[in-house]
Amino acid sequence: RLALYVYEYLLHVGAQKSAQTFLSEIRWEKNITLGEPPGFLHSWWCVFWDLYCAAPERRDTCEHSSEAKAFHDY
């Protein structure tokens, strides 16, 4: 499943040739349904990074949302 999210990410960032090469290298032969941009992998990464940056030991070194800070403070 991760391979499909990588493929979707490559397409959404405009790397069509890389996406096709990736599919051929993993020998994927099933149909693929893409999600809406920016895609699952990018969306997941943004949430992860926001929560990571909001951890108390990193709050002063990188930007984070007030929602992520509230999550950690809870």
Q: Taking the model in full, what pTM does it have?
A: 0.71
Q: pLDDT tens digits, residue range 28-70?
A: 878 888 888 889 999 999 899 888 888 888 878 888 888 887 8
pLDDT of residue 23: 92
71 — pLDDT class (breaks 50, 70, 90): confident
Q: In the chain, what is the greatest distance between 2 CA atoms, to the nearest angstrom? A: 47
SS3 call for 48: helix
Mean pLDDT of 16-35: 89
18 — pLDDT class (breaks 50, 70, 90): very high
